[in-house]
Structure 1
């Protein structure tokens, strides 16, 4: 069985660099907490490249750990296995909803177990997927959940003439050019563009970009902002010294 999983991110779960179709039916039960991530870190579930999925992953192996992480962090989506080793995933879900946690939740059920699906939806799940399943279907369902939760129809972010294509991980600039982005460039820009005009501290951006097992250096964000400015221009992303960064472009 697979673990349960949660996603911490603004936007889309991309799959452009994913390798093949992966079935998860052979996994042990667990919880995955998804963030925007950096490639190749230990928190990524087997079958996902973090550059491919667009998010880093925090992982919990028990219902107790999953419940704690869900309440401790501001995750953007959750994949929750109902068959956790120390308890029922439904109880975890009910606890989150009782605490008014509204992040989208996709539950994993045993194939053909319609009662689990019904009980999960009644408990507050937003979608379900039967095991075993294929990676592309899971990613597609997560993308749809996130778009709906954010009131978006298309997997694109637009601000000030810039358009970020979340399927292809590329940026269209106001002059009509298209620029491919690395996984981390894409995740950082998506975070900034998701809320134009909002100040993001380095700590907030690092939290969005890396999972709990990572130890990025203090100048990581500065280095990636410099790279992005070569594409967007210095005016689009400004630094508020001692406070953080702002994506200035507004529609």
Structure 2
């Protein structure tokens, strides 16, 4: 496969199949988009230009369209096969989606042209994370929002995830490190714009099975290492030179 990124980390066959599954669409994508929607302060932008960075097979398109009603939806990915499946998904939903083959570290998108940039479970696949985040900042309009939803190192670096999926382990980060990186790029957010979901599928090591069978109690917030972090971060209206 001729990927559109020199640093692309190819997914496993299981991983590629899982990203088409009902579990992924209903328990992961849908839940994340609903959570991100609740992290906004003030009204949503009307008829936004929305970029899905790392759209994969396009399974986000339905939920993004229903939640944010974009006037223009862009799906971007570095895997040509995934983009072909995204085109099929958009056609099946009767949605007009612009599809772009591009590396997130070098987006083929104009400066200050996007209102909402959705990056869901993509960032931990990227090797050049600093460059990608700078590109996200570049293409967003002043006042635009980054919708960032990620699994952290505490989840990615578990035996079951390392066995089933493939990730660049050298770039994995904690929730705090992701938030520090986003703020360091110049984005603005407060605690009101951040959440730390503790969902069954994100429980490190056992997917919450021990808790489900009553063999242990879940650790409360502040006493556990977070496995998920969601944030809605805003590019300032006035950008410093």
| Bucket of the pairwise TM-score, normalised by the shorter protein | 0.3 to 0.5
Q: Which has the larger radius of gyration?
A: 1
Q: Give the TM-score, by structure 2 length.
A: 0.33
More helix by share: 2
Q: Give the TM-score, by structure 1 length.
A: 0.32
